[in-house]
Structure 1
Amino acid sequence: MPEVVLFDLFGVIARNQAPEAVHALTEIAGAAAPAFLDAYWRHRPPYDRGQCTATAYWQRVALDLGTTFDTSRIANLIAADTDSWGAVDDDMVTLIERAAASGVRLALLSNIPEELAAHYEQHHRRWMRHFELVAFSCRIGRAKPDPEAFRWCARELGADPGHILFIDDRAENIAVAGRLGMRTHLFTGPARLKGVTT
């Protein structure tokens, strides 16, 4: 067993955006999906790292779309964006609770903006309390796949990278963690994790 299991959040514990959630965002923005998503993701890294506010982020998205968003529309976009990432996998929550009960040290590393981080802290306390370290990119100023995000976690945990198992659904993040000496698991579903984390 590893000393620490370091989880990704979205695509592992929490569900990725559903098509209907993306559609709701494009409707609020008044933009076609391809152009909207291109702008949405292009400007996401500094927002996730806490280097710009939500208002600045959405203003940059609007600029790419050749439009402007007023205060009311930005508020609606922030709310819809938060909702779009808010669903969690109950099977994964159960797995986390079992792993915690077995004495495994648990940690979380997520690329996430401040508004969404605050949402999870407020609405998902029951299972988030099991993580001794919560590394939100907006708070640590580093985001995957930057190697410093992983090094920061190892330092804060006081654990050798070789004693950490990192679980993520994205191959590029897994690759970086592996090069740093962490054990890794490319997530494809809860069933394959049961023997890994408990």
Structure 2
Amino acid sequence: MPTDRSIVLFDLFGVIARHQRPGALEKMAARCHAPTEAFTTAYWACRPPYDAGQQSASEYWTAVLRWLSRSVDANTIEELRLTDIDSWSRVDGRMVAYAQSLRGVAEVALLSNIPSDHADAFLAAQPWLRTLDHLAFSGKIKAAKPDPAAFHHCVVAMRAAPTDFLFVDDREENVRAARAVGMNGHVFTDRDELAAVIDTWLPTGR
């Protein structure tokens, strides 16, 4: 059923932006003098509080280094932080153009799991993001998907109803969480499939 508003709420990584740069984890593991598998485990196991704005970059990298039983120093932390930010810096130009093109027929917003310092760097490199109707970065709003609080933030901030949203994410667990709070949801695979879904979802005549 058509709603009063049409808001396409995009995930960032795996949809508009690309996943982590290949070889990045290996590069960071080498900087820590750690096996890649052990580093990868520590990198992801320590990540949730950092993504959700409950830890600073320094606290996150301290936790990773301690997990690996490595010494902690400011230079190592800063090198790892900058390498990490760079590893998540690539966008899909075709999807960027598509997201921007939708603004003629719908409101367009973003909900991304991304640490606060990463978000600052991404915004500086991709100023077009500021043209969207709302930006919700987990490290800034203190809630990360699939926590319902992340979706409720968007509903409240945009003064909308959950049914006004079509949430687009490449992870099924996040789409399920969005649907659980009343949003429409689509698991992203490629632009053409998404375009067909959005064309069907938009009210006739938009």
Pick the aligned partner of 2:120 from 115, 118, 121: 118
Q: Is the 8 A contact 1:114 1:138 kept in 2?
A: yes
Identity %: 41
Provide the C-alpha distance between the structure 2 equivalents of 1:183 and 1:163, rounded to a whole number of angstroms.
Answer: 8
Q: Is the 8 A contact 2:18 2:92 kept in 1?
A: yes
Deviation at 1:129, TM superposition (A): 2.5
**Any conservation in 2 of the 1:99–1:197 contact (CA below 8 Å)?**
no
* 1:14 maps onto 2:17 in alignment: yes
Q: Offset at 1:106?
A: 0.7
Aligned runs of 1:69-88 on 2, under 5 Å?
69-88=72-91
Tell me if the contact between 2:32 and 2:70 (Cα under 8 Å) persists in the aligned partners: no
Unaligned runs of 5+ residues in structure 1 are none
The reply to whether residue 159 of structure 1 matches residue 160 of structure 2 is yes
Deviation sequence 1:61-112 (CA, Å, 0-9, x none): 0111011232111111011000100000011011012111x23101111111
The number of residue pairs the alignment matches comes to 196
User: Matched residues in 2 for 1:180 and 1:160: separation?
Assistant: 10
Q: Post-superposition shift, 1:3?
A: 0.9
Shift of 1:23: 1.7
| 1:3-152 equivalent positions in 2, closer than 5 A | 3-100=6-103, 102-126=104-128, 128-152=129-153
Cα deviations by residue, 1:26-71 (Å, 9 ceiling, x for unpaired): 1222211111111111111111111111111101001110112321
SS of 1:166's equivalent?
A: strand
Q: Using the alignment, how far apart are the partners of 2:180 and 2:75 within structure 1? A: 45
1:11, distance to aligned residue in structure 2 (A): 0.9
Which secondary structure state, in structure 1, belongs to the residue aligned with residue 8 of structure 2?
Answer: strand
TM-score (norm 2): 0.91
Determine if contact 1:104/1:197 at 8 Å carries over to the other structure.
no
Let me know the Cα RMSD of the aligned residues.
1.4
**Secondary structure of 1:19's partner?**
coil
Q: Which runs of 5+ in 2 are unaligned?
A: 200-206
Equivalent residue for 2:203?
none
Cα distance in 1 for partners of 2:148, 2:155 equals 11
Rounded Cα–Cα distance in structure 2 between residues aligned with 1:130 and 1:195: 24
Q: Which runs of 4+ in 1 moved over 2 A?
A: 195-198
